[in-house]
Chain A
């Protein structure tokens, strides 16, 4: 081995030791799921905070958030502040005492003034507030192309009957109403769970929906079964879905809306949350929100339940009660911070004080309006269920059902995993 090589290797070792020692200063570490443009937006949001306080925000984004966070919490090495995948997981962390009670350093009265009770409740556990929401996605939307609709003379359906009549009309004209994409790698099937949840909210009382989420009614219950059947009437039908069930199963959720914007359109409607806007614009940056693509609320099914809003949201909690973490958390809860964040990403803010004119376009403003004015709001049910069901058998059940399996056996299988998962 030459002397040069040995010198090089020793200097690498020393460099490693030196870099570690040099790392110090007032920082707050943040863990989240965001990457790419989302990560840039987050850094932009904390820029004014860093400038004002001199505290450095060190953000790590990983799509493995549940694994990394659980491991680091269990090992006693959590980040100062972390994004939490869903309220269910927040409750688990709160239960083991890993989270800091926000009332220790935040003005609860002010939070209650700025956030609706729904968000406060979802962020609380055992009467204590543990997390705040910095943004939300509205899921109860059907995306369409206004140009394609007007040139074919279609009206926006207000009720489920109108929606099905419109679908049948399209079929009769040799067109395909829906585009569905269920593929999402290891998470395949989740777009279907949004369908089931939205249909549930429109066919039963919100209390029954909560019972279903908490597994107080079984998956084989007639209310649950009806929701699946309504979903299946569309998703399992070769005439309603572009390419039939096979295409729905193999199309990535992000690519599914593309066929709405081909000429002529290969499909006319696509159910997805607000975030799909960035996928549509990625597919064709020349499309204009509001003109080339828009959405209408997923119509009501049983009139008595109206059109409730289903959503998901990004929540943060504090794991290390340092002054720096407290300062950042207070900042993240403000309308000012969230305005920067939502403008970058087209997300919706959870803070009521966010100025509607801050949203980048009318479409996002309208979604914010729907979310704010919804009579009933429910959090994405699969995110609230234990992982074995909510991100396990529910997802695979969707795939099996759309793939043609008998509904009773699918529901029976989910019920079996649920019985185990809720026992803990």
Chain B
């Protein structure tokens, strides 16, 4: 066997394995997708795979779930609320984290080590522990049930990981860059703006994806700090109220999931070219 054929063979094997894993990984999602187009009675009677045999039997497929979800949800308002919550709750922590990571990486100040250790310690605090004390403070400040309150909460929960990841990437930039900048007379802020910021785009993009998805999919934090009134409730809260207290009408969830997933997919695909690069930039120190 020549070297070439053996390489093709091992490639083929690798690809088969990868495709197999991808298919396995996708099966539940495909199941949910198919279920979302099935009438409630069929869902109760038979598995989603029974549709596969007669894909185009229109009697067994319906848009009813989507209609119900869109009419019940008041989707416009819920989507808007989700964006109002998610966009600042992504930008605020990332902006702060960038500055903090730069300071921790390249500036010398008193308590540097202490701040860094505190940050690492905060990474392991479960956010559920903070609900009662933080909500008490929010009550005093009048932030409970308001958007600025939940921006602050999500920023707080997102910051430790964001600073840590950015610190790893920014502190790994070559020292010569900073030396030459300072020789050219750049201030710390100029260095940040014209050197650190452009070089951090990949890692910032991947962190933005993480933070966006986390806030977009969050239910518990929103319920605690915002409550569920239609003026402020994000889409996750509205979706969870589609289901009865005993889990009735759960088939509506399958449709609601695919409606709520759309913005996440758009964000992911528009930022994904930075994604892998960003993760590598964070993990492998220069």
Contact = CB atoms under 8 A, between A and B. Distances in A.
Asked if chains A and B come from one complex, the reply is: yes
Interface of A: 9, 12-13, 15-17, 19-20, 23, 29, 31, 33-39, 58-64, 67-68, 71-72, 74-77, 79, 184-185, 253-255, 258, 275, 278-279, 282-285
A278 B248 CA distance: 8
Contacts of B246: 253-254, 275, 279
Nearest to A258: B44
25 contacts: A12-B83, A12-B84, A16-B151, A19-B84, A20-B147, A23-B145, A23-B232, A29-B227, A35-B244, A37-B248, A38-B245, A60-B237, A61-B240, A67-B220, A71-B224, A75-B132, A76-B139, A184-B247, A185-B247, A253-B246, A254-B247, A278-B244, A279-B248, A282-B41, A282-B248
Contacts of B151: 16
Instruction: Give 6 closest A-B pairs by Cβ, nearest first.
Output: A60-B228, A75-B135, A16-B147, A20-B146, A33-B245, A35-B241
Candidate in B83, B139, B147, B231 with the most chain A CB atoms within 10 angstroms? B147
Contact of B242 (A36, A67, A71, A282): A36
B91 interface: yes
B44 A61 contact: no
B229 A36 contact: no
Task: Give the most central of A33, A34, A63: most B CB within 10 Å.
Answer: A63
Q: Which of B44, B132, B138, B245 has the most CB of A within 10 A?
A: B245
A68 B223 contact: yes
Given A20-B147, A29-B229, A283-B44, A71 B131 contact: yes
Contacts of A279: 246, 248
B147 A37 contact: no
Interface string B211-229: 0000000001001100111
Given A61-B240, A71-B135, 10 more contacts: A12-B83, A23-B231, A23-B232, A35-B245, A36-B249, A38-B248, A258-B45, A275-B246, A278-B248, A282-B40
B84 A16 contact: yes
B148 interface: yes
Given A20-B148, A75-B132, A63 B40 contact: no
A285 B232 CA distance: 36
Nearest to B131: A71
A12 to B, nearest CB: 5
A387 B241 CA distance: 24
A279 B40 CA distance: 11
Nearest to A255: B44
B60 interface: no
A68 B224 contact: yes
Contacts of A71: 131-132, 135, 224
A282 B136 CA distance: 43
A72 B151 CA distance: 19
Contact of A75 (B85, B91, B136, B241): B136
A36 B135 CA distance: 28
Contacts of A20: 145-148, 232
Contacts of B144: 77
Interface residues of B, number: 46
A75 B139 contact: yes
Contacts of B229: 29, 58, 60
Contacts of A184: 247
Nearest to B137: A75
A77 B252 contact: no
A77 B223 CA distance: 12
Interface in B102-151: 131-133, 135-136, 138-139, 144-148, 151
Instruction: Pick from B91, B224, B232 the residue with the most CB of A within 10 Å.
Output: B224
B172 interface: no
Contacts of A79: 227
> Which of B227, B237, B240 has most chain A Cβ within 10 Å?
B227
Contacts of B230: 58
Contact of B136 (A33, A68, A76): A76
Contact of B135 (A34, A60, A72, A258): A72
Most buried by B among A33, A34, A77: A77
Interface in B186-238: 220, 223-224, 227-233, 237
A127 to B, nearest CB: 30
Contact of A37 (B87, B224, B233, B244): B244
A12 B147 CA distance: 11
B228 A62 contact: yes
Contacts of A39: 241
A29 B230 CA distance: 11
Among B229, B240, B241, max chain A CB count under 10 A is at B241
A35 B220 CA distance: 16
A17 B147 contact: yes
Nearest to A314: B245
Choose among A60, A76, A79, A254 the residue with the greatest number of B CB atoms under 10 Å from its CB: A60
Given A20-B146, A36-B252, A285 B241 contact: no
A11 B242 CA distance: 30
Contacts of A77: 135-136, 138-139, 144
B204 to A, nearest CB: 12
A44 B3 CA distance: 75
A63 B144 CA distance: 21
Nearest to B136: A75
Contact of B41 (A29, A185, A278, A284): A284
A405 B72 CA distance: 45
Given A16-B151, A71-B132, A9 B91 contact: yes
Contacts of A33: 245
Contacts of A76: 135-136, 139
A38 B83 CA distance: 28
Contacts of A185: 247
Interface string B49-93: 000000000000000000000001000000000011101100100
B30 to A, nearest CB: 21
B243 interface: yes
B241 A61 contact: yes
A37 B227 contact: no
B248 A63 contact: no
B228 A61 contact: yes
Contacts of B220: 64, 67
A35 B237 CA distance: 11
